[in-house]
């Protein structure tokens, strides 16, 4: 038996805690443990970050047979938490990551149904911890350890760095065994810190990796939107109910809610996936209005190495930025040189309102521009080369403006820059957002106001701010947006109740917030309906796609009224409204 296989043979009457960075393969380890144990005992799988169906599909791909020697039961603590309708399945019980009592009850019920000792796989403790805080330590002691003491085996995993160090130490002290996953270039190591059956050791294995949601943009609608924002005459408003701009507060809330959930991986995922999605510009060029095509043909080169050529490109980009209310740009001709260019931005949509928070703030968004640079050169007959951008000055660091460095090729400091934001900085930024929100609701102050560009940003820029491409391409990014929304909504609900608002008044204020931010046209009766929701407008998908909106509303209603919101219809699936059923 290999050492890794032995680790996956979880001993009875023990709780083993698996710790590792987001995306390090904790779920894969848990699933391999299922495959290694289902032959000898029943398994209960608690899933908090994915659906039981996805877990089961993944297990099938790894070799799980259709006829099982023992029962495989699920506690579905994902759907109810993020506001998606669950599917009735045999041997499956719904619970919520927000309600530790419901999790304990669901585990006990499944154990009673099975009638014999089981392996409990808890994948993962991160959502319950982020939603309930230190209470998760008591849950581990009172529920998971007691469950193990009754003759069962327990394997639980949690994201390293997801919360306070003292809480992680308390969780580790609770466990009978601790295994840490450490990532290195091209490989990962399982570091066995303590274990009832395995001596302390390090086991090195290759890295692996995520499924995507089939989707596409409605390019005709997006080009109509582009023409409207650029003032080209032919374009007209897409969202007839609320218009084509969104208050900057909403995408910033979505973006930093995702960061609150996964601050280390979120920017890097966004940067790489946005760069990849923007690197093919052929469809964009084909659909441009004639005025833009003529401008590109006559004035823009297909190689941006030289200062004079990059200056032309940045002038084109600045015009788009102003039209879409992204920022006011300035190419720094004197500071730039061949293959090393600098640009300055004022009133940037990502940084305004976050002065002196202690970090650069563009983070993953610069991947979009890197992809556009590569696509412009490659698809217009120029070189095919990898561009990269890094922020050298930022309002978030106390600078009066933001500056960006652009080069073809690698930037040594890029990885460190994208991973520089820690949970303390994210919490500081999130508190700034909460202060804006409370001042808006309680004191009737404006949410966001830039001197020249105003408080809104275009639908297209909203899409990039929350990382639509990354969300559809990466299951981990999508989970961060969904569960970040739940955590954000919960925080908002708790703040409003603590401020003295009644439940119905808090609901009224949050619906007013959605209307004010132009999230969509909101109406509420037996169901909550958002027509022309900005999050899924002009998107086509096979799954409900209002990741943040649904998560936020679900977290809010659970905190304020002990109710849950589920996305039962979605505009991205060809249905003209988004419905959320409100009810326990």
What tokens appear for 3 in the block?
A: 């050492």
Looking at residue 209, its pLDDT comes to: 42
**Full-model pTM:** 0.77
Looking at residue 386, its pLDDT comes to: 93
Identity of the highest mean pLDDT range in 141-155, 404-418, 568-582: 141-155
Is 196 in the same domain as 75? yes
Identity of the highest mean pLDDT range in 5-9, 218-222, 332-336: 332-336
Identity of the highest mean pLDDT range in 277-291, 449-463, 533-547: 449-463
Is the predicted pLDDT of residue 308 greater than 70, yes or no?
yes
User: What share of the chain in percent tops pLDDT 70?
Assistant: 90
Q: Assess if residue 250 is contained within a domain.
A: no
Looking at residue 228, its pLDDT comes to: 78
The CATH number given to whatever domain includes residue 471 is 3.30.1380.20
What integer is the mean pLDDT of 195-204? 91
Is 412 in the same domain as 428? no
Query: pLDDT confidence of 510, banded at 50, 70, 90?
Result: very high
Query: pLDDT confidence of 564, banded at 50, 70, 90?
Result: confident
Residue of higher predicted confidence among 483 and 389: 389
Is 229 in the same domain as 192? no
Query: pLDDT confidence of 215, banded at 50, 70, 90?
Result: low
Looking at residue 233, its pLDDT comes to: 58
Q: Assess if residue 234 is contained within a domain.
A: yes
Looking at residue 63, its pLDDT comes to: 80
What integer is the mean pLDDT of 75-83? 92
**Per-residue model confidence as pLDDT tens digits over 264-281:** 777 887 888 778 766 666
Looking at residue 285, its pLDDT comes to: 67
Is 413 in the same domain as 447? no
Is 281 in the same domain as 361? yes
Residue of higher predicted confidence among 230 and 557: 557
**DSSP 8-state assignment for residue 97:** T
User: What share of the chain in percent tops pLDDT 90?
Assistant: 47
How far apart are alpha carbons 89 and 102 in whole angstroms? 18
Asked which of 146-155, 532-541, 574-583 is least confident by mean pLDDT, the reply is: 574-583
Query: pLDDT confidence of 171, banded at 50, 70, 90?
Result: very high
The residue among 363, 398, 421 that closes a domain is: 421
The residue among 390, 421, 452 that closes a domain is: 421
Is the predicted pLDDT of residue 410 greater than 80, yes or no?
yes
The CATH number given to whatever domain includes residue 392 is 3.30.1380
Is the predicted pLDDT of residue 535 greater than 60, yes or no?
yes
The residue among 400, 421, 442 that closes a domain is: 421
- For the chain, how far is it from start to end, CA to CA, in angstroms? 47
Q: Strand 577-582 to strand 565-569: parallel, antiparallel, or no bridges (unpaired)?
A: antiparallel
Looking at residue 356, its pLDDT comes to: 94
Q: Assess if residue 489 is contained within a domain.
A: yes
Looking at residue 121, its pLDDT comes to: 97
Rg (CA), the chain: 25
Is 51 in the same domain as 183? yes
SS3 39: coil
Is the predicted pLDDT of residue 211 greater than 70, yes or no?
no
**Per-residue model confidence as pLDDT tens digits over 495-505:** 999 999 999 99
Q: Assess if residue 251 is contained within a domain.
A: no
* Residue 149 CA from chain centroid, whole number: 36
Is the predicted pLDDT of residue 428 greater than 60, yes or no?
yes
Is 272 in the same domain as 229? no
Is 406 in the same domain as 383? yes
Is the predicted pLDDT of residue 283 greater than 70, yes or no?
no
- Owning domain of residue 101: 3-206
**DSSP 8-state assignment for residue 90:** T
Looking at residue 108, its pLDDT comes to: 95
Query: pLDDT confidence of 547, banded at 50, 70, 90?
Result: confident
Strand partners, 404: 343, 391
Q: What is the 3-state secondary structure (H, E, C) of 291-351?
A: HHHHHHHHHCCCCCCCHHHHHHHHHHHHHHHHHCCCCEEEECCCCCECCEEEEEEECCCCC
How far apart are alpha carbons 158 and 481 in whole angstroms? 18
Residue of higher predicted confidence among 356 and 416: 356
Residue of higher predicted confidence among 2 and 66: 66
Is 442 in the same domain as 582? yes
The CATH number given to whatever domain includes residue 52 is 3.40.50.300
Is 464 in the same domain as 486? yes
Query: pLDDT confidence of 402, banded at 50, 70, 90?
Result: very high
Q: Assess if residue 412 is contained within a domain.
A: yes
Total structural domains within the chain: 3
What integer is the mean pLDDT of 201-223? 67
Q: Assess if residue 105 is contained within a domain.
A: yes
Q: Assess if residue 120 is contained within a domain.
A: yes
Is 323 in the same domain as 428? no
Is the predicted pLDDT of residue 101 greater than 90, yes or no?
yes
Q: Assess if residue 115 is contained within a domain.
A: yes
Is 377 in the same domain as 428? no
């Amino acid at each position: 038996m290999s050492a890794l296989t032995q680790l996956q043979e979880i001993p009875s009457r023990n709780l083993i805690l698996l710790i590792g960075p987001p995306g390090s393969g904790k779920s894969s380890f848990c699933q391999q443990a299922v495959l290694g144990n289902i032959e000898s005992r029943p398994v209960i799988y608690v899933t908090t970050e994915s659906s039981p169906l996805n877990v089961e599909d993944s297990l099938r791909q790894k070799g799980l047979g259709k006829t099982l020697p023992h029962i495989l039961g699920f506690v579905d603590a994902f759907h109810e938490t993020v506001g998606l309708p669950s599917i009735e399945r045999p041997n499956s019980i719904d619970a919520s990551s927000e309600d530790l009592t419901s999790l304990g009850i669901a585990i006990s019920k499944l154990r009673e149904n099975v009638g014999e000792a089981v392996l409990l796989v808890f994948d993962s403790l991160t959502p319950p911890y982020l939603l309930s805080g230190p209470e998760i330590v008591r849950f581990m002691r009172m529920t998971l350890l007691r469950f193990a003491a009754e003759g069962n085996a327990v394997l639980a995993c949690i994201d390293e760095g997801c919360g306070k160090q003292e809480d992680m130490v308390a969780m580790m002290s609770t466990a009978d065994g601790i295994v840490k996953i450490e990532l290195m270039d091209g490989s990962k190591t399982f570091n066995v810190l303590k274990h009832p059956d395995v001596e302390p050791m390090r086991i090195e294995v290759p890295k692996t990796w995520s499924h995507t949601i089939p989707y596409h943009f409605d390019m005709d609608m997006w080009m109509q939107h582009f023409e409207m924002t650029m003032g080209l005459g032919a374009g007209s408003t897409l969202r007839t109910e609320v218009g084509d701009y969104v208050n900057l507060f909403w995408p910033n809330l979505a973006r930093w809610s995702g960061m609150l959930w996964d601050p280390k991986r979120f920017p890097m995922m966004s940067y790489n996936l946005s760069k990849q999605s923007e690197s093919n510009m052929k469809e964009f060029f084909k659909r441009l209005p004639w005025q833009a095509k003529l401008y590109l043909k006559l004035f823009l080169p297909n190689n941006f190495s030289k200062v004079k050529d990059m200056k032309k490109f940045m002038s084109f980009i600045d015009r788009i930025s102003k039209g879409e209310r992204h920022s006011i740009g300035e190419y720094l001709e004197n500071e730039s040189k061949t293959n090393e260019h600098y640009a300055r931005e004022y009133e940037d949509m990502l940084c305004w309102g976050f002065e002196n928070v202690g970090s650069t703030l563009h983070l993953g968004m610069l991947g979009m521009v890197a992809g556009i640079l590569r696509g412009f050169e490659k698809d217009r007959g120029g070189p095919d080369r990898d561009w990269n951008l890094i922020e050298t000055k930022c309002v978030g660091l106390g600078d009066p403006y933001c500056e960006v460095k652009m080069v073809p090729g690698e930037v040594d400091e890029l990885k460190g820059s994208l991973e520089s934001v820690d949970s303390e900085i994210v919490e500081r930024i999130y508190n700034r957002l909460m202060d804006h929100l409370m001042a808006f609701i309680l004191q009737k102050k404006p949410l966001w106001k830039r001197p020249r560009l105003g408080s809104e940003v275009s639908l297209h820029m909203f899409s990039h701010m929350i990382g639509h491409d990354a969300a559809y391409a990466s299951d981990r990014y999508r989970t961060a947006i969904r569960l970040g929304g739940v955590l954000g909504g919960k925080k908002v609900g708790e703040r409003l109740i603590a401020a003295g608002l009644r439940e119905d008044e808090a609901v009224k204020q949050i619906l007013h917030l959605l209307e004010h931010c132009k999230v969509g046209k909101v109406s509420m009766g037996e169901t909550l309906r958002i027509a022309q929701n900005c999050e899924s407008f002009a998107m086509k998908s096979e799954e409900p796609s209002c990741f943040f909106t649904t998560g936020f509303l679900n977290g809010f209603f659970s905190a304020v009224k002990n109710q849950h919101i589920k996305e039962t219809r979605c505009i991205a699936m060809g249905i003209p409204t988004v419905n959320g059923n409100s009810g326990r």
